[in-house]
A and B are shown apart, each in its own frame.
Chain A
Amino acid sequence: MPSSIAIDSRAAARTQTHTGGGRYYRRFGPIERVMHALLMLTFIGCALTGVPLLFADHDWAGTLVALMGGFRGAGLIHRICAAIMTVVFVGHVLRVFVRAFLAEDWLAYFWGPNSLVPNLKDGQDIVGMFKWFFGKGPKPQFDRYTYWEKFDYWAVFWGMFIIGGSGFMLWFPMFFSQFLPGWVFNVATIVHGEEALLAVGFIFTIHFFNGHLRPEKFPMDLVIFTGRLPEHEMQDERQVEYARLQSQGRLGAFEASAPTPSEVTFARALGSIGLVLGVLTILIIIYSALV
């Protein structure tokens, strides 16, 4: 069976990740990797310091906040993380527009295959995936970004505006109350908490599964940390992109060295911090919701 051959070779290549053998392609540049790492760490920081407020009636919440230096310490961590996250987000948006401006064809930059903007194929892929789930069709072939990766991206994008916007209102009420009515702060409180619950719940379950925990990637996909993925993975999961780059003769431009063992170790450590803290947060939320 071709699929089993592909999976076997993938497994073999996964071992090669450690040894440094095999051909690798660059998927994420240093800016994207640093951006993800900073987002990840500041997101976890905000989650750990914010979630206890939403479950303040549980004993663990008070203990956790006390460990983080009381509500003032936790509040400070929350705000520092929020500020870094905002800088990362604004930096990213600026970078996107600068790159679009510098691109030969800015329309293609936003609508082309390297863009995270949803397109018709994403809709077809969703249908295709559900068919595949039920064994009614082959697994869809994906370009550079799958629809769930695009959803992850836009969920964070939307969340940045909603949580960030409401968060800054609650952080600087004196400033915002100069031109906003009082009820806005009530709305901001609700929105900040609910959207945070959505973000935490989504990232620590759905994103973790899609990106890391599903059987094909378990326990984690290091590509976002090392920036590189092995050739077979690209052939296997980014078929359209692989074929496109190959036909354009640009594939070689993306070829990269295999991650060194120390890079892999570092990526594993960083990924593990995120996974462990995230899963713990989810477990404690589920526990609190059930008790």
Chain B
Amino acid sequence: MPSRSLTGLFSIAVAMAAVLVAAPFAARAADAVPSPNDTCLMCHSDAGAKNAAGKSIAVDAKKFATSVHGQMNFKCTDCHSDVSAEKLPHEPKLKPANCAACHEAAVKEYQATAHAKARAGGNMVAATCSDCHGAHEIQRSSEPTSRTNLARIEDTCAACHGNAAVIEKGKLHGGNIAAAFHDGIHNRAMHAKGVQRSGTPTCTGCHGAHKILSKSDPASRVNREHVALMCGSCHQQVYSRFSGSQHGQLRQAGNSAAPTCIDCHSAHGIQDHGATKWQVDVIKECGNCHQDFIKSYRDTYHGQVTQLGFTRVATCNSCHGAHEVLPASNPKSMISPENRVTTCRSCHPGANANFAAYKPHGNPHDRQGDPILYYTRLFMQLLLAGVFSFFGFHTLLWLIRSLKEVNARRGGGK
């Protein structure tokens, strides 16, 4: 907060500058212009002003005047508290603006975050207050022009998390998450419907604003252990279905490898569940754990068509359900003996019990489990091997013999 003594100090500063020119006007000038910021602007208002290192030290007085701090008639020295009007010009190197003097709680929160820790560890590309809020032109978040307005948060975060140079310098393992988020369903919904109406989260919706913690931090909202709860804060019905599913129960039992929201949906580039590419890709995600099943699935028409990149045929969740996946032994499961025909009928309306007895994961390599399929495949392979061996030799020998005859004929023709 500006103190009374500062007014006096500025008076002196202005006097220092003006005294040689027109001493009689000095006192009057100090009376007429109460803003001591003019003293600073004498140097800093020059748009081309640079410090010794060549970095711009220009301040746009108009922008500052319309900023939240300018409107509150802040003085430069309120933030740059290591500058004194009594000692000008000031030191070439100033301390960072002291935001904590007023925003104590926010700065304290920030100190414990991924950004602050990275800076403390010497990674100076990590964001500090001004990287997100700006410096002299800070606007209230409620202002549409503010860099921390919900509609602009994406751009603000993308300045670093969508910037290849920063990503490399900061060793950000997630890569260009801003681009992924930009194409994701949350961001698209926000831009389509508007921030207020869509209610969809932007970066800060999941990561928080000041308290952004690394996903590896157990206290983080985006930590693997908590992320379902966080998604569930909006997607409540999905969360309750997921909690009751085999995957959800495994997680509750402490199995951290069991899938959670981000494993199938990804974290940033979340796609609409109707998007073909996502539907086709998520099958591979299931296959990461269920390796035998994706293998046998790929041997079926369903699996072949989806592998070619088309949907409309059954993917994993068509039969197993998505969030509510349960083992066949559970009567509530979509693939339980009780529900199987109904499940088949969701795509094949006329399905009967025989139809539903088709094995969508039949495995012709499993002699014990699927003897019929095993011996069918064996028979077919022997048939192929037999035919191709016999006629392969037949053809090869014939070709050699014919070529010999052609050569002999050519020789005879000479």
Contact with B along A44-79 (1 / 0, CB 8 A): 000000001110110001100110001110000000
B352–A178 touching, CB < 8 Å: yes
Measured between beta carbons, the chain B residues less than 8 angstroms from A148 are 394
| A71 partner residues in chain B, CB cutoff 8 A | 305, 308, 310, 312-313
| Contact count band on A | 35 or more
B307 touches A56 (CB 8 A): yes
Smallest CB-CB separation from A53: which chain B residue? B304
Using A130-B397, A183-B372 as known contacts, say yes or no to A62 and B355 having CB atoms under 8 A apart: no
B318-341 interface code vs A (CB 8 A; 1 in, 0 out): 000000000000000000000000
Q: How far is the CA of A113 from the CA of B413 in the complex (A)?
A: 37
- Shortest B391–chain A CB gap in Å is 4
Q: Are B380 and A174 in contact (CB under 8 A)?
A: no
CB of B236 within 8 Å of the partner chain: no
B289 at the interface (CB under 8 A from A): no
- Bound form: Cα–Cα A151–B373 in Å: 28
Task: For the complex, give the distance between the alpha carbons of A180 and B357 in Å.
Answer: 10
Q: Check: A4 CB closer than 8 A to any chain B CB.
A: yes
Query: Are A174's CB and B350's CB within 8 A?
Result: yes
* A-B residue pair count with CB separations less than 8 angstroms: 144
- In the complex, per-residue mask of A125-142: 1 if CB is within 8 Å of any chain B CB, else 0: 000011011110000000
Decide yes or no whether B117 CB sits under 8 A from chain A. Answer: no
Our pick among A52, A173, A215 for the contact of B355 (Cβ within 8 Å) is: A173
Flag if A66 contacts B355 (CB, 8 Å). no
**Counting CB contacts under 8 A, is B129 at the interface?**
no
Establish whether residues A133 and B400, one from each chain, have CB atoms under 8 Å apart when the complex forms: yes
B310 contacts which of A65, A177, A194 (Cβ < 8 Å)? A65
- A86: interface (CB < 8 Å): no
Q: A62-B307, A183-B358, A186-B370 are in contact. List 9 more A-B contacts (CB 8 A).
A: A70-B310, A130-B397, A155-B387, A177-B354, A187-B373, A189-B299, A189-B300, A189-B301, A215-B405
Instruction: Report 27 cross-chain contacts, Cβ distance below 8 Å, ordered by A residue.
Output: A3-B409, A4-B412, A53-B301, A57-B298, A62-B308, A65-B308, A66-B309, A71-B313, A72-B310, A129-B394, A130-B394, A130-B397, A132-B401, A155-B387, A174-B352, A178-B352, A182-B359, A183-B362, A186-B358, A190-B364, A191-B380, A194-B380, A198-B388, A201-B388, A209-B399, A214-B398, A215-B405
